[in-house]
Amino acid sequence: MNVLFICSRNQWRSPTAEHVFRRYPGLNARSAGTQRQARKTVSPAIISWADVICVMEEEHKIRILADYSRLVQHKRIYVLNIPNHYQFMDPQLIALLEDVVPAQLGLRVPA
């Protein structure tokens, strides 16, 4: 399964999620941001690559639906409801991601 994690600037939340979920068997993780100044911006190519899209906030979903409606019409988009309060690899952010994402995607936590 190819999972794309999206936040605003691709600086803290989505790169942390990408890093954490790379270790899950059968899962390929990438990240991007919705803002023009993001480290890696959302593009048609990365949207097409993704089987599933996990956005950090509802505003990211709205933006993706507005900008890429045709490309996402048959993709699952999950809103994780993770606010922009964390730094890259913040232990609290990792714990939150590990609690929310596997449940959303139906994943088993690796040993």
pLDDT tens-place string over residues 37-96: 999 999 999 999 999 999 999 999 999 999 999 999 999 999 999 999 999 999 999 999
Choice between 109 and 24, residue whose per-residue pLDDT is larger: 24
Sequence ranges of the domains in the chain: 2-103
- pLDDT for residue 109 is more than 70: no
- pLDDT for residue 6 is more than 90: yes
CA distance from start to end of the chain:
19
User: What is the structure's pLDDT at 108?
Assistant: 72
Place domain 2-103 in its CATH homologous superfamily: Response regulator (3.40.50.2300)
User: What is the structure's pLDDT at 26?
Assistant: 85
For the segment 12-22, the average pLDDT, to the nearest whole number, is 97
Please report, as a single letter, which amino acid is at residue 61: K
User: What is the structure's pLDDT at 110?
Assistant: 60
Evaluate the CA torsion angle 79, 83, 86, 91 in order and state its sign. Answer: negative
